[in-house]
Amino acid sequence: MITPIILAGGSGSRLWPLSRGSMPKQFLKISSENTMIQETVLRLSELDTDSPLCLCNEEHRFVVAEQMREIDSLGKIILEPIGRNTAPAIALAALSLIEQNTDTVMLVLAADHVIENKTEFQDVIKKSIPIAEKGKLVTFGIVPTHAETGFGYIQKGSKCLSDAFVVNQFVEKPDAQTANKYLSSGDYLWNSGMFMFKASRYIEELEKHHPKILNACKKAIARTSTDMDFIRVDKVEFIKCPADSIDYAVMEKTDSAVVVPLDASWNDIGSFSAIWDINDKDHQGNVHKGDVLSYNSSNNLVIAEHKLVTTVGLDNCIVIETKDAVLVANKDCVQDVKKIVEEIKSLGRSEADIHRQVYRPWGHYDLIGVGKRDQVKRITVKPGEKLSIQMHHHRAEHWIVVSGTAKVTNGDKVFLLRENESTYIPIGTIHALENPGVIPLELIEVQSGGYLGEDDIVRFEDRYGRA
């Protein structure tokens, strides 16, 4: 029996504008009809596993819970108060398992990888379990297909156990010349960022090589609170934890590290060129998603989410259309997309982090239009869900039901609104919105006032723990 540990942090800024801070790539449908985190869990279906233990931040907790619930695979979710890289995150998971007297073999997986050959992946995982049970810290090295400069590498040494090799060294992303040397030598594998080891062995090695991380995590996990499926660790203690990756903190220092080669059509989808790589192409080498027409165009990735996108005489380019932003880039420069994101952030613009469509635990809203003193949202509330009981100091709201039934609290009145009915909520009035029906509730919300920010919400009661 193994316990999958799903690391669901990260912002995926090189896949902007699809991936943003509020909805990064691991929660998007990049390679199939399932999101990347769902695919990560589903590819374990033929293995003997416990329920997955996911780690994410507070902002993404309901997205993770909902997406796991959609595939009937909801386990516990540990919430990191702040990002501290992979070594502390894995330590929290290991300590949590040990606290439950469950010193199982942990299979640590990133939530944003694509693995096309699931059978080979599962076979390699099965073969690696006895190696981990012997006390080794297993990492999986991807058999390289080309001289890649965007990945770190692992140099394998002599064969030691079954299909495992001693780790000679971890090396950083190389230049093109060095990458070619690595490829031709046959001694180097891509560093996948996937690991397998017993929880107690990881803690032992972390205590030996980076005790400050372990001590901070022990103090943080000792003062947890449970909220529905979420485990909150102590924020004050966790903030004191040094930030470091598992590679630097443990794997490069331990004498128990081994690497198992994996040849399963793996891709970490670190850029738009990777999406182009894994998708079927037309006779001109184009990958089109959505409403796309092209003429005399080749080797392009074009994704149209909401509008017709056309290309004429375009070659080797990326075109991404979303509701509120468009990216056009040369395919050879996709690693620099993050520089545009940095500039957007420096200008104080919201598009770096927030989509026009924003997801909430009760549903989602689409920000249709924004003026100086007004904005309009299309709100969708899932059946049985309820927004918090709240009020605003600076804005009034007008709700118009488009479809479904709304149960409305407006001051001291509680009543139902049906299709084409509306209500007005003055500034300072306590109010709430609930969907008592069995179909989604859709309504238009018109806000007006001197300040329309999301932080002008005073919550008095909230079933999702946000009050």
Summarize pLDDT for 51-88 with one digit per residue, the tens: 999 999 988 988 999 899 999 987 899 999 999 999 99
pLDDT of residue 336: 93
Contact 82, 171 (CB under 8 A): no
pLDDT of residue 160: 85
Q: Are strands 257-262 and 137-142 parallel, antiparallel or unpaired?
A: parallel
Report the SS3 class of residue 221.
Answer: helix
Say what angle helices 86-99 and 211-222 make with each other, to 10 degrees: 50
Backbone angles phi, psi at 25, to 5 degrees: -60, -30
Summarize pLDDT for 339-377 with one digit per residue, the tens: 999 999 999 998 998 888 888 889 999 999 889 999 999
**CB-hemisphere CA count at 13 Å for 390?**
21
Distance from the Cα of residue 183 to its chain's centroid: 31
Q: H helices of 29-172, where?
A: 36-42, 61-70, 86-99, 118-133
**Alpha-carbon torsion, ordered 55, 57, 62, 67, to 10 deg:** -40
Percent of the chain residues topping a pLDDT of 70: 100
Q: Are strands 317-321 and 326-330 parallel, antiparallel or unpaired?
A: antiparallel
pLDDT, average across residues 378-397: 96
Q: What is the C-alpha separation between 66 and 362, in angstroms, rounded?
A: 10
pLDDT of residue 12: 77
Distance from the Cα of residue 181 to its chain's centroid: 34
| pLDDT over 80 at 467, yes or no | no
Return the number of other C-beta atoms located less than 10 Å from residue 415's C-beta: 11
Could you give the domains of the chain? 2-267 (3.90.550.10), 281-346 (no CATH), 357-461 (2.60.120.10)
| pLDDT over 80 at 251, yes or no | yes
| pLDDT over 90 at 454, yes or no | no
Report the SS3 class of residue 201.
Answer: helix
Confidence band for 255, pLDDT divided at 50, 70 and 90: very high
Q: What letter does residue 244 receive in the DSSP assignment?
A: -
Q: Are strands 287-295 and 301-312 parallel, antiparallel or unpaired?
A: parallel
Confidence band for 31, pLDDT divided at 50, 70 and 90: confident
C-alpha closest to that of 192 among 83, 86, 333: 86
| pLDDT over 80 at 227, yes or no | no
Mean of the per-residue pLDDT values of the chain: 94
Q: Is the peptide bond before 88 cis (omega within 30 degrees of 0)?
A: no
Among the listed ranges 104-113, 224-233, 279-288, which one has the minimum average pLDDT value? 224-233
DSSP string covering 168-194, please? EEEEPPP-HHHHHHHHHHS-EEEEEEE
Summarize pLDDT for 127-154 with one digit per residue, the tens: 999 999 999 999 999 999 999 888 999 9
| Exposed / middle / buried, residue 60 (Cβ in 10 Å: 0-12, 13-18, 19+) | buried
Q: What is the C-alpha separation between 73 and 220, in angstroms, rounded?
A: 26
Summarize pLDDT for 276-308 with one digit per residue, the tens: 999 999 999 999 999 999 999 999 999 999 999
| pLDDT over 80 at 115, yes or no | yes
pLDDT, average across residues 251-274: 94
Contact 373, 379 (CB under 8 A): no
pLDDT, average across residues 383-401: 96
* CA distances, 251 to each of 10, 149, 257, 328 (Å): 21, 21, 6, 39
DSSP string covering 414-455, please? EEEE-TT-EEEE-TT--EEEE--SSS-EEEEEEEEES---TT
| pLDDT over 80 at 466, yes or no | no
Q: H helices of 223-317, where?
A: 235-239, 246, 272-278
